[in-house]
Amino acid sequence: MTLTEKMRRMRDLMLLCSESVFHYFCDKQLNEWILWQEITEASEGAVDNRKGEQAIEFSIDLYTKKEYSPTIDKIQEILDTNGISFSYSGSTYEPETRLIHHEWRCEL
């Protein structure tokens, strides 16, 4: 799978969790949205001095005004059922925006 295909795959998976999905930034005022982006190459496998395999690390951020948003579990379920390794990095409350920010890291 190429890098662009992996990016599209991550977008498509996040769209299964919410209709409000954005890559890099969100310029709308919403009550909840998912923001995702590729961070770095997590690992690679070379074959005959060529890149054979490439794992990309992604960040998934959920911004919400809901204390117990069902989207939290949707994100984890979609990642898990699609065999994507992930970890929940935690949550913070952002008093300026009055949003709860949840973050995951995953590899595809």
pLDDT digits (tens, 9 = 90+) for 37-94: 999 876 655 566 665 677 899 999 999 999 999 999 999 999 999 999 999 999 999 9
Cα–Cα dist 108/105, whole Å: 10
Strands 21-23 and 85-94 turn out to be: unpaired
Q: Is the pTM of this model over 0.85?
A: yes
User: What phi and psi values does residue 89 have, to the nearest 5 degrees?
Assistant: -85, -15
What is the DSSP secondary-structure string of 44-72?
EEEETTEEEEEEEEEEEEEEES-TT-HHH
For the chain, what are the domain ranges?
A: 3-56+68-87+100-107
Cα–Cα dist 34/25, whole Å: 10
